[in-house]
């Protein structure tokens, strides 16, 4: 996909809906692109469609222009877009529906992290203030006591020294590094998430639903299995899952074989494997894949809800534990002095 500033998922969903409406009226894809380039009201969409129109004018097929600019169409063979207009209309409608569902799930996941993120910010602020202001003041008082300090107190004072020695700079550096990873090396993040049991389960189910829904669209358009399998890794946005697909897909002859191997690798539920094999035997493979995607997507939401239910109290416990440890550690020498004086 060509990255363009200002292009949001909502813009793409609108574009798919517009392409679906135009092809439903009997308009060819080339004509639909030209019309949208001339009449699109939304400037980001107009810029995107204009780029596709320029590709078509240079001799690129409409299918290649769409697949090169739209992330949801990558991996699709250009011959798909030579289908009859009714088929293409349903296809664009399915793409829009799929994109909207995925965006809704991602929005829900992002919003559920707002509270833990706020707690994390508060925790960092409180710990920084304690380490930079409170702990050094108390440490100077304890140095005049002439007594050995408890181990927790020495640990906190040592950490405070790290903050004063530039350790606090590690926080913004870490934030910048995380942003760079999110932008350029997402596979590191996906690989790390795959090491955490609950996140691994959620991410694999979401990526699986994405794959199965795209496979359903491809088989519905009668795309040959060889082309579907060769493009399988392009159907998912999870880079780790895509990397595993690149290893598995070349060893498969049919879509059912692919799903079976994914199940053996722990990347797909056993129920989906059985459903896809049954669908392939009965000639309803597209329907089986579509229902499998719905099932896995729903299951991913349930699993993620359980994760969020655990995450909220854990963030509060972490906040209390860290701040409580620092406060108790710094009060221990005061308690010792009181005990000696008593």
Instruction: Please report the sign of the dihedral spanned by the C-alpha atoms of residue 135, residue 136, residue 140, residue 146.
Output: positive
pLDDT digits (tens, 9 = 90+) for 121-172: 888 888 888 888 888 888 888 777 767 788 888 888 888 887 766 655 666 7
> Is there a contact between 228 and 255 (Cβ–Cβ < 8 Å)?
yes
User: Which pLDDT value is given to residue 192?
Assistant: 81
Q: Which residue has the higher pLDDT, 78 or 39?
A: 39
Q: Is the pLDDT of residue 328 over 50?
A: yes
pLDDT digits (tens, 9 = 90+) for 309-324: 888 888 889 888 988 9
Instruction: State the pLDDT confidence band at 4, using cuts at 50, 70 and 90.
Output: very low
Q: Which residue has the higher pLDDT, 337 or 279?
A: 279
Instruction: State the pLDDT confidence band at 3, using cuts at 50, 70 and 90.
Output: very low
> CA-CA distance, 45 to 188, in Å (whole number)?
32
**What phi, psi does 70 have (nearest 5°)?**
-115, 120
Q: Is the pLDDT of residue 211 over 70?
A: yes
Whose tokens are 């199940």? That residue is 263
Q: Is the pLDDT of residue 231 over 80?
A: no
pTM of the predicted structure, to 2 decimals: 0.72
Domain layout of the chain by residue ranges: 9-111
Determine whether domain 9-111 maps to CATH 3.30.470.20.
no
Most confident segment among 175-189, 191-205, 285-299: 285-299
User: Which pLDDT value is given to residue 184?
Assistant: 63
Instruction: Name the strand (E) or helix (H) holding 223.
Output: none
DSSP string, 65-105: HHHHH-GGGTT--GGGGGS-HHHHHHHHHHHHHHHHHHHHH
Q: Look over the chain and give the mean of its residue pLDDT values, rounded to a whole number.
A: 81
> CA-CA distance, 78 to 64, in Å (whole number)?
5
pLDDT digits (tens, 9 = 90+) for 257-302: 999 998 888 888 888 889 999 998 998 988 999 899 888 888 888 8
pLDDT digits (tens, 9 = 90+) for 74-132: 666 666 777 777 888 888 888 888 888 888 877 887 788 788 888 888 888 888 888 88
Q: Say which DSSP state 250 is in.
A: G
User: Which pLDDT value is given to residue 275?
Assistant: 92
């Amino acid at each position: 996909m060509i990255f363009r500033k200002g292009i949001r998922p909502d813009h793409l969903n609108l574009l798919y809906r517009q392409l679906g409406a135009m092809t439903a009226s009997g308009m060819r894809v080339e004509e639909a692109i030209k019309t949208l380039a001339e009449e699109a009201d939304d400037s980001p969409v107009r810029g995107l469609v204009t780029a596709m129109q320029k590709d078509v004018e240079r001799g690129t097929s409409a299918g290649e222009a769409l697949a090169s600019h739209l992330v949801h169409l990558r991996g699709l063979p250009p011959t798909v877009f030579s289908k009859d207009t009714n088929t293409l209309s349903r296809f664009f409608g399915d793409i829009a529906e799929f994109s909207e569902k995925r965006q809704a799930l991602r929005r829900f996941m992002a919003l559920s992290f707002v509270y833990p993120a706020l707690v994390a910010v508060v925790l960092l602020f409180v710990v920084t203030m304690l380490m930079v202001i409170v702990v050094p003041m108390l440490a100077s008082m304890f140095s005049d006591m002439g007594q050995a300090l408890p181990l927790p107190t020495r640990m906190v004072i040592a950490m405070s020294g790290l903050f004063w020695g530039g350790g606090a700079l590690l926080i913004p550096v870490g934030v910048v590094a995380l942003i760079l990873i999110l932008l350029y090396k997402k596979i590191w993040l996906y690989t790390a998430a795959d090491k955490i049991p609950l996140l691994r389960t959620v991410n694999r189910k979401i990526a699986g639903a994405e794959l199965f829904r795209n496979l359903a669209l491809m088989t519905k358009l009668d795309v040959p299995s060889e082309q579907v399998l060769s493009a399988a890794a392009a159907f998912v946005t999870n880079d780790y899952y895509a990397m595993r697909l690149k290893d598995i897909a070349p060893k498969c002859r049919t879509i059912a074989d692919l799903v079976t191997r994914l199940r053996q690798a722990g990347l797909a539920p056993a129920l989906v494997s059985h459903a896809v094999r049954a669908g392939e035997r009965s000639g309803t493979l597209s329907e089986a894949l579509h229902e499998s995607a719905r099932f896995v997507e729903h299951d991913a939401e349930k699993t993620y809800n359980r994760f969020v239910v655990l995450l909220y109290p854990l963030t509060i416990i972490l906040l209390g534990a860290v701040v409580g440890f620092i406060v108790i550690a710094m009060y221990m020498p005061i308690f010792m002095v009181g005990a000696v004086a008593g």
